[in-house]
Structure 1
C-alpha cells in the first residue's frame, strides 16, 4: 500500500486496514510454520504496510504531518532576565573515621 493512499484514509479506516493487515500477517506466518514457503515477499510487504499505517497514525497523534514549519521573525527576541542567585551558608564538613584517626595519630 502506498504512503499517499494511507495518508488519505480516515482514522477509522486506518484502524480497519491495520487489523486487516495484521490478520493477513498472522495467516501467512501460520502457513510458513506449516511448511509452505510461498509468500515470503508478501510477508515482508505486510510488515512494512503495518509499520507505515502505525507511522501515519502516530504522526496524526502528534500533529506532525502537514504542519507548517515556524519561521523566525526578523525582530530581536527580548532577553530573559537572569534570576538572582541565593548564596547559602556552607555546611560544616563531616569528618570521617579515617580523617579523625589520622588527626589523632598526628597529635
Structure 2
C-alpha cells in the first residue's frame, strides 16, 4: 500500500488494516521459521507497511500529518 492510500483510510479502517498486516507478518514469520516461505522479501514489505500505518495513526492523533 502506498502512503496516500493509507492516509485516505478512516481511523477504524487503519486499525483493521494494522491488525490484518500484523497477522500476515505473524504468518510469514511462521512460514519462514519452517522453511516454507518462498518470497522472503514480503517480510520486509509487510514491516514497512506496518510502520507506515503506525506513523499515519500517530500523525492523525497529533494533527501533524502531511497532505491535510
Shorter-chain TM-score range? over 0.9
Alignment coverage as a number of residue pairs:
68
Aligned to 2:19: 19
Hey, which of these two has a bigger chunk of helix by percent? 2
Partner in structure 1 of residue 63 of structure 2: 63
Structure 1 runs (4+) deviating above 3 angstroms are none
Note closer, same or farther for the CA distance 1:66–1:34 as it changes in structure 2 (3 Å cut): closer
**TM-score, L = length of structure 1:** 0.60
In the TM superposition, residue 62 of structure 1 has moved relative to its aligned partner by 0.6
Alignment of 1:89-104 (within 5 A): none
Q: Look up the match of 1:30.
A: 30
TM value normalised by structure 2:
0.92
SS of the aligned residue for 1:36 comes to coil
3-state SS of 1:39 partner: coil
Give the 3 Å change call, closer, same or farther, for CA 34–64 of structure 1 in structure 2. same
Q: Which has the higher contact order (CA 8 A, sep 6+)?
A: 2
Check if 1:8 corresponds to 2:26: no
* Cα pair distance change 1:25/1:67, threshold 3 Å: closer
| Structure 1: gaps spanning 5 or more residues | 69-107
Gaps of 5+ in 2: none
Matched with 2:48 is 48
